[in-house]
Structure 1
């Protein structure tokens, strides 16, 4: 319920404070008395458009405040609780302004809010009929909510909704179990085959990506080996290699820095480069020694990849799809088997549950 309204410099209103008593209130007056302006101010307070034209001529800011009585239980109270706003004495103050600079602001209680939040919250408080917004009374699906609230049965309706949702789901499941036995048997066979085939594959998350990398390495053995050998030769391949040349450069650098200490920092950097490249060369050598062509392992990897690609072709959107899609299909197939009765679902017990609900 709107308890009071304060309007300042809005349209042609300089300052007005209106208090509403409990019950039915009527504002009457001749054309031009300002009835529509008061409705416009309320609409502005509830989250309507904020325009510079709403500011009284010669002023810099228009503002509207309103105090609302909030029931302790209800949608409005729940909204405030969800947004961490506490009413005082079951009342909440709404405040909004617009300035001639175009800036506007709104508060619910002491909390600044967006226009969208203001409109969402105020929808629980006020309905305005006419050429304005907030016409939830015109929406037929909303009628039952108002009737339930008036009857004081909102909590009972919420409990009923939970039960009704449960019974609808179970009736749908029973209908699935009751369709053609032949079609049901075909679906059970199809999902059972899929579940068994995927289980037998013993897939691991990300296995396809690691196998593809392994397959690329093994099938490109000759190019990989030749590349590693070329790197080793360039780094440490006799006197023309980078490391032997760096070694000579180090000796010259050490001698030069012994004559001029300002070269010490450069000599240290050259020494660091020498040791870093020497370490890199050793790691390439170590990698080269472990590099062995294994056609048997390559065949095993390609065979495993072929199995995974076939599973993706059957149970995923494409062969290049993520392996996770196969896992998703597997879980979905198991759920459908349970719904079809293959997982021990008893139609008679389901009927008993529906009757009880």
Structure 2
């Protein structure tokens, strides 16, 4: 449950430190005092989107933080562990900051998180029912989601949707195959032939550049041999061989070196040159000896190059691109072969359909059970909410083939009087009736929810008189099971709270600020009297307020 909420520089709040208790807590205050600011702040801490407009004028950023007791929420503790966000045992700290530029930062137990992660954690902690919930009830998707949540089958409904999409995907694949089977088979046969032809070349990724190098060497072997032999003759074997002349020069210089040591430097260079020249002559002689004049191999290489050129021209690519072309054709062929036959695709489609129908049937049974129970509970609550004789029904309309949401369409029906047939909620309920029905549904569905903290933001709009007291008793009864916070403008509801917070405006240093305070008995009497009596509070109004609070 929610233990505390800290608010800094948020809208018209400069600083608030609030601590919450279990049970039923009410928040009241004059219009415009900022009652909904508390809910807005909590919503941001739970991952709702925010912008720079929430930062109090003249401040750098808004800071919001909430502490929750999660000792009885093992699923949330597991989620925190899985995401490396665990903090102190039994506690979850949620923090959010939004600066004046609109930049937002979110933290769970001191760890930076995305808004999506913050929302996921928040879904375990708090359920907020807004004052316009009755309008959302008119949407078919929300009606279906509400029933699934009441039945505790949200996860199963999600699986059914995934299975349906998988089934339809296979169906579309099978239909496409049947439609294009002639063209696909023709392409398959062509690809098989092309792959066999390209594979027959047995061309490796490095063979083409190697062939070109070998061809160049074989085609010019005579010139290469002649040049190598000329080099050996010039360097070492000829009558005027350079190496012989160089060695003669080195010998003469060595004889006169003793007369001038300055000759040592050029002599060292000549010695090095002679050694390198000797090495070059040796290398050229070795090259000439191993050079292969092989006309037969040259013809083989030229035939191989011509074959590759011919294949490249056929497929309109460069010879070096033939290995990549083969890989591309093999992958496309594998894809077509994987498509299987029409019979195989039909078998896969039927198997997926059976999986979908099996899960959807379980979901339908759970929906029928939950629909009967929810219909009875909301109908019973309607009798207490000045709708005597009225009934509520969750109708399940069977869909022949089913869809992504199951084998039935969910529709909420209502009858305001026992003599009238139940009709769709949008067609028979007035604004006031819709508000009361919505409240009854929210209270009944919240009783089976796993979320420990429930917040009702002026859901009692359009309700008054004795019905308001019934509403207060409903919320108080719910508070015996969960932590319930309710923003209300009805004194009958406010009087039934276990705790009572008052929201008020004040002016400080020329700025209008909102402040919240926990009321004691005498203060509650004054607040209830204000809600009862309007501008001027009389002693009679105070006595009435005291009676409502059950204090003398």
- Structure with more of its chain in strand, by fraction: 2
Q: 1:118 — aligned with what? A: 114
Q: 1:210 — aligned with what? A: 207
1:160 aligns with 2:156: no
Q: 1:353 — aligned with what? A: 351
1:85 aligns with 2:82: no
Structure 2: how far apart are the matches of 1:186 and 1:300? 33
C-alpha displacement of 1:336: 1.0
Structure 1: how far apart are the matches of 2:142 and 2:279? 76
C-alpha displacement of 1:271: 9.7
C-alpha displacement of 1:333: 1.1
SS of alignment partner, residue 174 of structure 2: helix
TM-aligned CA distance change 1:98 to 1:216, over 3 Å:
same
Using the TM superposition, name which of 17-26 and 302-311 deviates more: 17-26
1:299 aligns with 2:302: yes
C-alpha displacement of 1:168: 2.9
Query: Number of aligned pairs?
Result: 319
Q: 1:193 — aligned with what? A: 193
Maintained 8 Å contact 2:106/2:115: no
Maintained 8 Å contact 1:6/1:66: yes
Calculate the TM-score normalised by the size of structure 2: 0.42
Structure 2: how far apart are the matches of 1:38 and 1:348? 53
In structure 2, the gaps of 5 or more residues are 131-136, 356-552
C-alpha displacement of 1:325: 4.8
Please say which structure displays the higher CA radius of gyration: 2
SS of alignment partner, residue 114 of structure 2: helix
CA-to-partner distance for each residue in 1:45-84, whole Å, 9 max, x for gaps? 8486786994786x8875321235775548x965x45532
RMSD of equivalent CA atoms: 5.8
C-alpha displacement of 1:330: 0.9
Structure 2: how far apart are the matches of 1:225 and 1:27? 106
Q: 1:219 — aligned with what? A: 216
SS of alignment partner, residue 174 of structure 1: helix
In structure 1, the gaps of 5 or more residues are 131-136
SS of alignment partner, residue 85 of structure 2: coil
Please give the residue correspondences for 1:48-67 in structure 2 after superposition, counting only pairs within 5 Å. 54=55, 63-67=63-67
1:95 aligns with 2:95: yes
TM-aligned CA distance change 1:319 to 1:64, over 3 Å:
farther
Structure 2: how far apart are the matches of 1:289 and 1:25? 105
SS of alignment partner, residue 121 of structure 1: helix
Calculate the TM-score normalised by the size of structure 1: 0.59
Structure 2: how far apart are the matches of 1:224 and 1:16? 97
Structure 2: how far apart are the matches of 1:142 and 1:228? 92
Structure 2: how far apart are the matches of 1:67 and 1:278? 88
Maintained 8 Å contact 2:45/2:65: no
TM-aligned CA distance change 1:226 to 1:147, over 3 Å:
farther
